[in-house]
Structure 1
Amino acid sequence: MKKTSLFLRTALAGAALFAFAGAAHADLLKDIREAKKIRIAVDTGSPPYGFVDDALKPVGSDVETAQLLAQDLGVALEMVQTTSPNRIPFLQTGKADIVVASLSVTPEREKVVDFSTPYAQILAVVAGPKAVSIKGFDDLQGKRVATTRGSNNDRVATLGAKGAQMVRYDDDATLVTAAVSGQADIIATSPAIVNAVLGKSPQKDLVTKFVMQTVPLGIGMRKNEPELKAWLNDWVTKNTQNGKLTAIYKKYHGG
């Protein structure tokens, strides 16, 4: 009886484990199609990837990319406002289905989330006053360098400029305000943010000093969603080949 009981308990435990494993593998793509809605996290505080126009309408390259994606998937778009530090947590906590928010593909991030085939690229740069000689990381030693908390720019600058004093702002919009107001003279960011600063303050003494890194941008998603990842990869490939993603990027970034 003891052996039979032990076998039964073991079998039941194995069945429960199998059932749990099956439930753990959800098909998010199927769920999105059944709900007829996709929740895409977009950072509208990161021009020109995402920002709010004079009519208080979200616009930008990532906004239009998200709109095109939802349209091609045949579902409604629910845009979820996020910031740089919240992009991956929003995926992990289920607040968003995917992230289209200038999310750089890095080895660290690939440990916790999956990425689509890159749909664009972004430069990580250091910008500062024209009169200040900055040619590389060594020239940042002892200087205050402002950046956006949780961004790839933050990571690259922190690792490279070990002797610098890093000053972190919660989002790109706050970083732009700090640079325009003179609170931040040297910034580790993207060319788009440098242009945003100069757009608000054309007389600002700010130029790009050097490129820290060139990295691809991917659509972020939770791990273990093979159907969704396959669809997104196919979507990026098709819309790169037909020129739609390139047209969106050029519209907001030039080139």
Structure 2
Amino acid sequence: MTITLNRRTLLAGAAGFGAAGLVALPAQADSLDDIKKNKKVRIAVAMGIPLFAYMDAGLNPTGSDVETARLIAKALGAELELVQITNAARVPTVQTRKADILIGSLAITPERKRAIDFTIPYATLDIIVAGVPSLAVKEYKDLIGKRIGVTRATVNDVMVTQNARGAEIVRFEDDATLITAVVSGQLDLVSTQTAVLASMNEKRPNNRLDVKFVQQELNLGMALPKGEEPLKAWLNDWIRTAFNSGELNTMFKKFHDRDLPKDLINRET
């Protein structure tokens, strides 16, 4: 056990030296071997995201990302250590190896792929701009001069920042606090995802927000540190098998009430 922890510590240190311009050793990383030897896997999830990762009535973690993590741990024959984090901590958690895998509704983007590795897509989500019916918003230029809420360090944050210069952007640390701001009447306009919007409208049924426009459909990938090729290959095989058998779609539909796209695992990553 001590040997495993020391090896992981050394790898984390090597990653840090690499960031400073020195030589890192990603090819020597093999978390899959560690997981199988120790029969324990650390999987991070971004909590507070409706339908993906949230607390149920009994204050137990649930949602499609949480259940996906449980399925993977079972397939690995390993005990699951669920590492609960915020949206903003997703990429840093992977980079610093505080988890072996991240299943945190994280969109696959070129910028993120420079810092961490992704599997093939395991799910999708639509990001949208929504607001009260009285607001005339149909595209990004209509956001200029308006106050809009976003969750920090998300694709929504990036897209609004880049495409609606002149908008007043109010950033929140996670979806839960964004939802609270909308429900309490602090915001009339948000950039979020459809699952979060559904939660907002459920809590304010007499003053619902309408979808103004769809910003983008995002492919979500499981994330892992650079250089973990055996673990990445194992996860890709698991996703393909679970998708083709229908297990992944059945579980996802249980929470989202929709099917995964038929071309999901073949999408360019």
Q: TM-score, normalised by structure 1?
A: 0.90
Q: What is the DSSP-based 3-state SS (H/G/I as helix, E as strand, rest coil) of the residue aligned with 1:108?
A: helix
Instruction: State the shift of 1:82 in Å.
Output: 0.7
Match of 1:183 among 158, 182, 186: 186
Matches within 5 A, 1:220-235: 220-235=223-238
- Hey, what's the Cα distance between the residues in 2 that align with 1:109 and 1:161? 22
- Hey, what's the Cα distance between the residues in 1 that align with 2:131 and 2:81? 38
- Match in the other structure for 1:103: 106
- Match in the other structure for 1:125: 128
- Match in the other structure for 2:196: 193
- Root mean square deviation of aligned Cα: 1.3
% of aligned pairs identical? 47
Q: What is the DSSP-based 3-state SS (H/G/I as helix, E as strand, rest coil) of the residue aligned with 1:188?
A: strand
Question: Which one-letter code corresponds to 2:178 in the other structure?
Answer: L
- Match in the other structure for 2:96: 93
1:98-154 residue CA offsets vs partner (Å, 9 max, x unmatched): 100101001110000000010011111000011111110011011111000001111
CA contact (8 A) 1:124 1:211 kept: yes
Instruction: State the shift of 1:156 in Å.
Output: 1.4
Where does the alignment leave 5 or more consecutive residues of structure 1 unmatched? 1-19
1:64-109 residue CA offsets vs partner (Å, 9 max, x unmatched): 1111111111101000011110011111112111100101001110
CA contact (8 A) 2:26 2:226 kept: no
Q: What is the DSSP-based 3-state SS (H/G/I as helix, E as strand, rest coil) of the residue aligned with 2:98?
A: coil
Q: Relative to 1, partners in 2 of residues 1:23 and 1:102: Cα closer, same or farther, differing over 3 Å?
A: closer
Q: What is the DSSP-based 3-state SS (H/G/I as helix, E as strand, rest coil) of the residue aligned with 2:219?
A: strand
Q: What is the DSSP-based 3-state SS (H/G/I as helix, E as strand, rest coil) of the residue aligned with 2:120?
A: coil
- Hey, what's the Cα distance between the residues in 2 that align with 1:158 and 1:182? 23
Instruction: State the shift of 1:245 in Å.
Output: 1.2
> Does 1:80 find its partner at 2:83?
yes
Q: Relative to 1, partners in 2 of residues 1:174 and 1:23: Cα closer, same or farther, differing over 3 Å?
A: closer
- Match in the other structure for 1:6: none
Structure whose CA Rg is larger? 1
> Does 1:243 find its partner at 2:240?
no
Instruction: State the shift of 1:21 in Å.
Output: 6.7
Instruction: State the shift of 1:163 in Å.
Output: 2.0
- Hey, what's the Cα distance between the residues in 1 that align with 2:207 and 2:75? 42
- Match in the other structure for 2:54: 51
Q: Relative to 1, partners in 2 of residues 1:115 and 1:200: Cα closer, same or farther, differing over 3 Å?
A: same
Count of matched residue positions in the alignment of Structure 1 and Structure 2: 236
- Hey, what's the Cα distance between the residues in 1 that align with 2:26 and 2:43? 24
CA contact (8 A) 1:127 1:209 kept: yes
> Does 1:29 find its partner at 2:19?
no
> Does 1:164 find its partner at 2:167?
yes
CA contact (8 A) 1:127 1:187 kept: yes
- Hey, what's the Cα distance between the residues in 2 that align with 1:197 and 1:67? 27
Question: Which 4+ stretches in 1 moved above 3 angstroms?
Answer: 20-24
Question: Which one-letter code corresponds to 2:130 in the other structure?
Answer: A
